[in-house]
Amino acid sequence: MRVFVYEHITAGGLAEENWDLSFAAQGFAMLSSLTRSLKHAGHEVIVAFDSRISEKLIPHTARRERVASLSDWSEAISSLSEDADSAIVIAPEDEGILTDVLARIRADGLEVIGPDNETSALCSDKVMCTELYSELSLPVPATVSANLDQILDKSSGIEYPAVLKPAVSSGAIHTSRVSDETELEWLVNRFRGSMRSPRFVLQEFVEGVDSSVSLLVKDGQMHVLSVNRQHVSLGRPGSISGYHGGESPFVHPASEKAVSDAKKIIESLPGLKGYVGIDFVLQGEQAVPMDINPRVTVSAVGIERTRGPKALARILDCAEGALPELPPSRGFSRFEEYLDLPTSADTSTLEDDYARVMVIPGVVSPPMLLPGGKGTVRPYVCGWGLSREEARMDLAAVEKQVDQRLGVVSP
């Protein structure tokens, strides 16, 4: 089968805008993992990629289309859709991007193994998700939603600390923890006039362990790929929140509860199909649902290692017939954006050096130098072991090899 894998950042969806370097690293890692898995399973893969990325760093595929502008983006989608049998879309929920891309590819008549457009829109909206959880009698922290100018007026019933976030967003972007009304007011004034998303959610902070459940889904049925730990930093006003990687699988007293509650969510949304990730905060033996991600998530990077090189390709089996049987999980993985990558003083460290990093086992996606000195997209790396500690040690060894390959530390 020939599969069009669309990943928004590296596909040129933002080719005329500034890159978020961390989002780019995550996007490239998901694209690389899924492409490898599909090729291991014997499928051909076609992709579009941002013209700012060196072609030598793009995973080897049957066909690659360079995108330099938004007009190129539309032409590439039409061209590659004609050449494919099916498509898998990886895109952020922000500003309805995921829903728009799904609709755009389907407009060309190509089958997309993902949620229908209506379900995608629901899952992208934190307010609608919260209402769904309430209907399913799942735990929901006290929540209010309103336009940014009205959120202060509606905050009187919320206890602090609390979390302010756009109603439609991903990756903890523009998400902050506030400790009192003064911090909330400061944050609202900071965002006022600069945010594209008009609606915000203010929600009481849930203390616990950030996690996710990764699933393969079809017609309200599901198979569990993994329960994962998430490494998330939730910044205070003035600092930056973000997702930095995770561990797979993750054992916790509330893991089974998270899977059980994920089943209730999946059964209530028959429009979901393919890979789905549901975020939870695990608290004692309770699992508090947060976001529904109706597309491939970064946890796929770890699942590729624990379930084997062909596991992610089982997404294609969600298109028709019964849900696929999954290969057994083996060992543990730990994966992250290598934020501590030292900067080399040697300006000759260019694309060829970065390409050599790609061959290191455990490097999911290489570092990428943006043109014009606009920054470096850092590599995504993954360690594996028979225990969580072995996976952590292997991850550290991979990062040391990256440093040595780039000449920033001594062998």
Give me 28's structure tokens.
């490239």
189 with 224, same domain: the answer is: no
223 with 325, same domain: the answer is: yes
190 with 229, same domain: the answer is: no
If you ran DSSP here, which 8-state letter would residue 181 be given?
Answer: H
Task: Quickly state the pLDDT bin for 336 (edges 50, 70, 90).
Answer: very high
Mean pLDDT of 352-358: 80
How far is C-alpha 292 from the chain's CA centre?
11
Which string of DSSP letters, residue by residue, matches 60-90? P-SEEEEE-SHHHHHHHHHHHHHT-SEEEEE
215 with 167, same domain: the answer is: no
265 with 357, same domain: the answer is: no
Task: Quickly state the pLDDT bin for 55 (edges 50, 70, 90).
Answer: confident
Task: Quickly state the pLDDT bin for 172 (edges 50, 70, 90).
Answer: low
- Inside any domain, residue 136: no
Cβ atoms of residues 45 and 16 within 8 Å: no
pLDDT of residue 235: 64
Mean pLDDT of 376-403: 95
157 with 245, same domain: the answer is: no
Task: Quickly state the pLDDT bin for 259 (edges 50, 70, 90).
Answer: very high
Mean pLDDT of 58-76: 86
Task: Quickly state the pLDDT bin for 167 (edges 50, 70, 90).
Answer: confident
Nearest-angstrom CA–CA distance, 380 and 26? 7
The CATH number of the domain holding residue 185 is 3.30.1490.20
pLDDT of residue 59: 84
Nearest-angstrom CA–CA distance, 63 and 45? 7
- Inside any domain, residue 59: yes
Of 13-17, 24-28, 252-256, highest mean pLDDT = 252-256
Mean pLDDT of 122-128: 94
Mean pLDDT of 377-395: 96
The pLDDT mean for the chain works out to 89
| Sheet (strand 143-147) strand order | 143-147, 199-204, 162-166, 176-178
Name the least confident of 30-39, 101-110, 131-140, 338-347: 338-347
pTM above 0.75, yes or no: yes
- Inside any domain, residue 6: yes
Mean pLDDT of 300-325: 92
Nearest-angstrom CA–CA distance, 307 and 326? 8
Mean pLDDT of 81-85: 94
- Inside any domain, residue 121: no
Q: Is the pLDDT of residue 31 over 90?
A: yes
Give residue 84's domain range.
2-112
Name the least confident of 4-8, 193-197, 279-283: 193-197
Nearest-angstrom CA–CA distance, 52 and 335? 25
Of all residues in the chain, the percent with pLDDT exceeding 70 is 91
Task: Quickly state the pLDDT bin for 321 (edges 50, 70, 90).
Answer: confident
158 with 217, same domain: the answer is: no
pLDDT of residue 352: 74
- Inside any domain, residue 308: yes
345 with 269, same domain: the answer is: no
Task: Quickly state the pLDDT bin for 323 (edges 50, 70, 90).
Answer: confident
178 with 230, same domain: the answer is: no
Nearest-angstrom CA–CA distance, 242 and 209? 15
pLDDT of residue 347: 44
Closest residue by Cα to residue 36 from 394, 321, 387, 380: 380
Q: Is the pLDDT of residue 92 over 60?
A: yes
Closest residue by Cα to residue 327 from 40, 70, 133, 123: 40
The CATH number of the domain holding residue 30 is 3.40.50.11770
- Inside any domain, residue 124: no
269 with 382, same domain: the answer is: no
pLDDT of residue 171: 64
pLDDT of residue 237: 64
- Inside any domain, residue 50: yes
298 with 343, same domain: the answer is: no
Name the least confident of 163-172, 180-189, 287-296, 398-407: 163-172
Tell me, what amino acid is at 50?
A: D
Of all residues in the chain, the percent with pLDDT exceeding 90 is 61
Residues sharing a CB contact under 8 Å with residue 16, sequence separation 6 or more, in sequence order: 69, 70
156 with 243, same domain: the answer is: no
pLDDT of residue 106: 95
Q: How many domains does the chain have?
A: 4
